[in-house]
Chains A and B, each alone.
Chain A
Amino acid sequence: MRDVSSSLKNPSIIRRSLRRTILFVLFILVLGSTFEPYNQAQLAVVLIYFIAVLSVTILTGISGQISLGQGALMAVGGYSTALLMTNYQLSLWLAVPASIVGAGIAGALLGIAAARLSGPYLAGTTLVIALAIPTIANRFMSVFKGDEGLSVDVGYPPAWFTKAFGEPTYEAWQLYVVLPFAAIALFFASNLLLSRTGRMWRSIRDHETAAALTGVNFSRQKIYAFIVASIFAGLSGALYGLRGLVGPSVYPVALSLTLLTAAVLGGIRSIAGAFIGTVIVVFLPDWIDLVLKNFKLSEQVSNFMPALISSLLLILTVVINPAGVAGARHRKH
């Protein structure tokens, strides 16, 4: 009881989120500095996916709206950043925040339509969105350059950075560019989940009518949740594009499904779950490869073995513990 009442009085919320964020950043920095370049790049991918998985956590885990189309909002973020950077020569530190606004607007439009839908109807709609949005790139060839896509990257570190910390590898620089954005995303998500808004969204998830009776305007709150989740997805998509290319093939339907998979694997209701799920999804193929190297397999078998093992693990995890890896100890919400 004491625990609950202290989290309701909120000066500690910001402090708690800040503490989590600082620990997270230190953890990533230490981990990143011990890694080989390949794994540094993988760690950057983990951070990028983490932001997008947080959007699934907020949308599906907290506000209860299932989405199979967060990849489309990532595409919106990615294309906005790429267009701003190639056409207006903006630096990525301006282009990425600006493109988040674009993703937020797209999310608001989708949210208005989505607030009326529930369960599988919402799932179907978002799935078609994930399929349809990237094809716009082929429709307006002159702007989006079709399948070829727009190439952007994180560039090189500025002079003051190399002077202060020495010359980082390209992979390490990718990681350092992504890290501050991931930290901000984590801080906001943590605040949100602990705050009154977070509780309000959970009440909608658990029972719309009951929430309405306690004075929550659930249609409006569902749209807000969609906008916030879209901003996270847009940010992630912008950073994902900065790995080198923004094109339809970078944001396929499978990407959206991977995000949902990561969220459910780790535990869809918590930030820790989002991170654990993301680490599993990104590194599992590498780990399986490592194990399979010890066996002599024909090419046909070894091509598909990682996919088979990870699919079977996915089924097992879901059947044994549907609440996800981090979900078991989750009682309060």
Chain B
Amino acid sequence: MDTFLAALFSGTSRGAIYALVALGLVIVWRGAGVVNFAQMGQAMFSTYIASALIQNGNSYWVGFFVALFAGSILGALLDILIMRPLSNKKKTELLSSESMRAAVPVIASLGILGALQALAGIIWAAEERGFPAPAPQEGFSVASSIMPFTSFDLFVISIVAATLVMTTLFFKRTGVGLAMRATALNQEVARLSGIRTNFTRALSWAISGAASSLAGLLITPTSNLSPNTLDLVLIIGFTAAVVGGLDSPAGAVLGGFILGLVISFVTFYLSPEDVFISILGVLLVVLIVKPRGILGGKDARRV
């Protein structure tokens, strides 16, 4: 029973972070048609900024909010400087097929990831460093036994929940959110009805940058910070988005929690070595039943 609770709680807390990463990927995928492999590179970079600020004597919260702000600026800049010029070339013959439209931005984002990691190495050196948590990481003690649930876990889950509610409200209730959903649906039509698609694209990169920076801030207290520590988080977040359906933000969140729980239960009940094989198993089962993820759309073809 204790193992079960421990697996459940750590899975939920990790799952919340993966949900955030997946959500960031889905926002950029819908808003700009790019699977952004650089996303956790951006998060790593802004977490380093927070870490540098905190080490220079600022409070945790200064670092926290500056990192979120830096993450969103960096995301917007990457779109304006690199991805927008790239997407303007879509009319060339090579980019007219779907696979190339997906592959070329992936390569660009891998380049961005490499550049950000190298830059972080040059500025802050490659050694792992710790990153502070805003809440204690010891378990609550209830009736003289220590629960496998820390106040930091509570902090993670509540802040992720708040973020998810805010993003949902933003997309459903605000004019800009509506414009972004329209752009995701059909860029050409959105532009014809007066939406500045360049702006909404940059905005989706900015939002995703902030969301993934938040994920970086929340995961580094348990995993330490180095230029490469977040690579695996990106792969798991991407898998979560694929499991849930890349077209659906709710699916991304669902996928994040599913993966968090799968990883945690496999680690607790089997062995850490089985984690990736189990992820692959879950992914294959889901995609064989629903090739576009649990909450993804129908697989429609046009002639």
**Number of residues in A with C-beta < 8 Å to the partner?**
56
Q: Check if B35 sits within 8 Å of A327, measured CB to CB.
A: no
Q: Check if B242 sits within 8 Å of A121, measured CB to CB.
A: yes
Q: Check if B277 sits within 8 Å of A139, measured CB to CB.
A: yes
Q: Check if A308 sits within 8 Å of B118, measured CB to CB.
A: yes
- Does residue B106 face the partner (Cβ distance < 8 Å to A)? yes
Q: Check if A268 sits within 8 Å of B103, measured CB to CB.
A: yes
Q: Check if A117 sits within 8 Å of B287, measured CB to CB.
A: yes
Bound complex: CA A301 to CA B119 (Å): 9
- Does residue A90 face the partner (Cβ distance < 8 Å to B)? no
* Shortest distance between the CB of A60 and any CB in chain B (Å): 6
Tell me which residues from 140 to 195 in chain A have a Cβ below 8 Å from any Cβ of chain B.
none
B228-239 interface bits toward A, Cβ cutoff 8 Å, 1 = contact, 0 = none: 000100010011
- Across the interface, A124 reaches (CB within 8 A) one of B98, B104, B112, B242, namely B242
Q: Check if A261 sits within 8 Å of B279, measured CB to CB.
A: no
Bound complex: CA A24 to CA B239 (Å): 40
Q: Which residue of B lies closest to A205 (CB)?
A: B97
Tell me which residues from 85 to 126 in chain B have a Cβ below 8 Å from any Cβ of chain A.
85-86, 89, 92-100, 102-104, 106-108, 110-115, 117-119, 121-122, 125-126
Known: A121-B242, A123-B102, A315-B82. A307 touches B117 (CB 8 A): yes
Q: Which residue of B lies closest to A131 (CB)?
A: B276
Q: Check if B287 sits within 8 Å of A131, measured CB to CB.
A: no
Q: Check if B86 sits within 8 Å of A322, measured CB to CB.
A: yes
Q: Check if A66 sits within 8 Å of B99, measured CB to CB.
A: yes
Number of A-B contacts defined by CB within 8 Å? 162
- Does residue B301 face the partner (Cβ distance < 8 Å to A)? yes
> Which residues from chain B contact A304 at a C-beta distance below 8 Å?
118-119, 121-122, 126
> Which residues from chain A contact B246 at a C-beta distance below 8 Å?
120-121
* Shortest distance between the CB of B287 and any CB in chain A (Å): 6
Known: A64-B99, A307-B118, A312-B115. A128 touches B303 (CB 8 A): no
A224-262 interface bits toward B, Cβ cutoff 8 Å, 1 = contact, 0 = none: 000000000000000000000000000001000100110
Kindly name the residue among A66, A210, A301, A305 whose own CB sees the greatest number of chain B CB atoms within 10 A: A66
Task: Tell me which of B44-52, B175-183, B202-210, B288-296 binds A.
Answer: B288-296
Tell me which residues from 9 to 30 in chain B have a Cβ below 8 Å from any Cβ of chain A.
29
- Across the interface, A318 reaches (CB within 8 A) one of B86, B276, B287, B303, namely B86
- Does residue B154 face the partner (Cβ distance < 8 Å to A)? no
Q: Check if B111 sits within 8 Å of A314, measured CB to CB.
A: yes
- Across the interface, B103 reaches (CB within 8 A) one of A60, A136, A303, A315, namely A60
Q: Check if A60 sits within 8 Å of B99, measured CB to CB.
A: yes
> Which residues from chain A contact B231 at a C-beta distance below 8 Å?
253
- Does residue B2 face the partner (Cβ distance < 8 Å to A)? no
Bound complex: CA A236 to CA B228 (Å): 27
Q: Check if A322 sits within 8 Å of B110, measured CB to CB.
A: no
- Does residue B284 face the partner (Cβ distance < 8 Å to A)? yes
B46-85 interface bits toward A, Cβ cutoff 8 Å, 1 = contact, 0 = none: 0000000000000000000000000000000000001001
Known: A64-B97, A124-B241. A314 touches B287 (CB 8 A): no
Q: Check if B114 sits within 8 Å of A116, measured CB to CB.
A: no
> Which residues from chain B contact A213 at a C-beta distance below 8 Å?
303
Bound complex: CA A123 to CA B107 (Å): 12
Bound complex: CA A132 to CA B283 (Å): 12
Bound complex: CA A40 to CA B172 (Å): 60
- Across the interface, B35 reaches (CB within 8 A) one of A123, A128, A311, A315, namely A123
Bound complex: CA A304 to CA B122 (Å): 6
Q: Check if A139 sits within 8 Å of B104, measured CB to CB.
A: no
Q: Check if B276 sits within 8 Å of A128, measured CB to CB.
A: yes
Tell me which residues from 93 to 110 in chain A have a Cβ below 8 Å from any Cβ of chain B.
none
Q: Check if B98 sits within 8 Å of A127, measured CB to CB.
A: no
Q: Check if A300 sits within 8 Å of B122, measured CB to CB.
A: yes
Q: Check if A121 sits within 8 Å of B293, measured CB to CB.
A: yes
Known: A125-B242, A125-B283. A303 touches B274 (CB 8 A): no
Bound complex: CA A323 to CA B95 (Å): 8
> Which residues from chain A contact B277 at a C-beta distance below 8 Å?
132, 135-136, 139
- Does residue A206 face the partner (Cβ distance < 8 Å to B)? yes
Q: Check if B107 sits within 8 Å of A314, measured CB to CB.
A: yes
- Does residue B302 face the partner (Cβ distance < 8 Å to A)? yes
**What 3 A-B pairs are tightest by C-beta distance, nearest first?**
A311-B114, A124-B242, A308-B118
Q: A116-B287, A116-B291, A307-B117 provided; 5 other pairs, C-beta below 8 A?
A: A127-B235, A135-B276, A268-B100, A315-B112, A327-B94
Interface pairs (11), CB distance under 8 Å:
A60-B99, A60-B103, A66-B102, A116-B291, A125-B284, A128-B235, A131-B280, A260-B103, A304-B126, A311-B114, A311-B115
